[in-house]
Amino acid sequence: MFYYREYPVAAPLSTYIKKYWVLDNTDNPLALVGRKVLPNGCFNLAVISGQGIDITGQYHSILKEGIYLCGQLTTTIHIHLHAYTKIVLIQLYPWAPVGFIKEGLEGTADRFLDIHDLQHRLDLNFELWDEAGILAAVQRSFQQVLDLPAHVTMAVCTQLRAEKGNMRITDIAGTMGVSNRYLEKKFKEALGITPKDYAGIIRVRSLIDAFQQKKYNPGFTGLALEHGYYDQAHFIKSFSAITGISPGKFNLEEYLLTLNGPGI
């Protein structure tokens, strides 16, 4: 039997961690196949125990037991979760990794990086299968992040999330008194993608969240208008770039989606 579960995050850690979520196939002799995960503008720390997981998206990745930093997804991924495997995931807001990763993250989008190949400040003193131990270690580690000054991406991402991605990067840069080029450099260093890429992800994912919550009514056409898509061709192109399919072929049942609250 496969189990999906989520744990909420209490303040002040909730500024940096969106949620804890678990893909638990520990007692299942069968692999979980045919499921997808959508981009949502967050990073994830994935702690894998058991036989591992195969991921197909921009790249094909085979992840064995271990701890991984999952880079920003720019397209939907297909997962093959092997039998007798559990993955504990810590979903991180996009401004969080700069607090514990000591190097830039440019070039990490759609990649899954062994945490031991990165310079970091994390407490990794736990067993890979120990859910409670993992969450306790994460809480200890993130106390250090709370002492750091906020990164510029925090303000920008917060605005984009509040406006569901429907903002001009030029306008944000102007209100902050910086250049587009400066924001792009900081985003690439901290997120591995540009502010425009991030805004596009948030816009499409916010629309899909609304589609899920409204039980398909008013449908994608009405929701596209609500999310600022006044050109149908532009909407279909943006949607297809993130999901890999047209809006008409989208099926919620194929995706692992959040249980509580918005996906972004």
Q: pLDDT, tens digit, for every residue of 178-228?
A: 999 999 999 999 999 999 999 999 999 999 999 888 765 667 888 898 888
**CATH number attached to the domain at 152-254:** 1.10.10.60
Q: Give, in words, the CATH class of 3-145.
A: mainly beta
Of 220, 227, 222, 208, nearest to 248 by C-alpha is 220
Of 180, 165, 135, nearest to 229 by C-alpha is 165
* 150 has pLDDT over 80: yes
| Token couple for 202 | 């948030």
What do you get for the CA distance between the two ends of the chain, in Å?
28
**Would you say the pTM of this structure is higher than 0.85?**
yes
Q: In the prediction, which pLDDT does 263 show? A: 76
Range(s) within the chain of domains with CATH label 2.60.120: 3-145
**CA 75/CA 208 separation, integer angstroms:** 14
Q: In the prediction, which pLDDT does 86 show? A: 98
Q: In the prediction, which pLDDT does 226 show? A: 85
Band of pLDDT at residue 260, cut at 50, 70 and 90: confident
Rounded mean pLDDT, 73-97: 98
Range(s) within the chain of domains with CATH label 1.10.10.60: 152-254
